[in-house]
Amino acid sequence: MQEIKYVLKDKLGIHGRPAAQLVKRAAKFKCDVQIGSSVKMVNAKRIIGVMALTLKQGEECTMTFNGEDEEEAAAACKAFLEENL
């Protein structure tokens, strides 16, 4: 299992367009991908769950990856977070 933590820098937090792009990126991998905070974790391949988190600027989000291509998925999602959020 891989895990990454990231503090959101975007002033809008995880909002519509980057949330959709993150879901699209996560869906490319076979492994189970979860995103959330210490309060709640959701399936990162489902836009409704990601949007329902309402993570804001300054909050830490955690992503977990479990499965056969988890290392590739973790690297791709970490790069996405750093470039876009």
Q: How many CB atoms lie within 10 A of CB 6?
A: 18
pLDDT band at 85 (very low <50, low <70, confident <90, very high): confident
Whole-number pLDDT of residue 13 = 87
46 is catalytic: no
pLDDT tens-digit readout, 58-78: 999 999 999 999 999 999 999
CA distance 67 to 1: 7
pLDDT tens-digit readout, 46-63: 999 999 998 999 999 999
Q: How many domains does the chain have?
A: 1
Q: Residue 22 maps to which CATH number?
A: 3.30.1340.10
> What element of type H or E holds 22?
helix 16-27
Catalytic residue from among 15, 37, 42, 46: 15
Query: Residue 25's domain spans which residues?
Result: 2-84
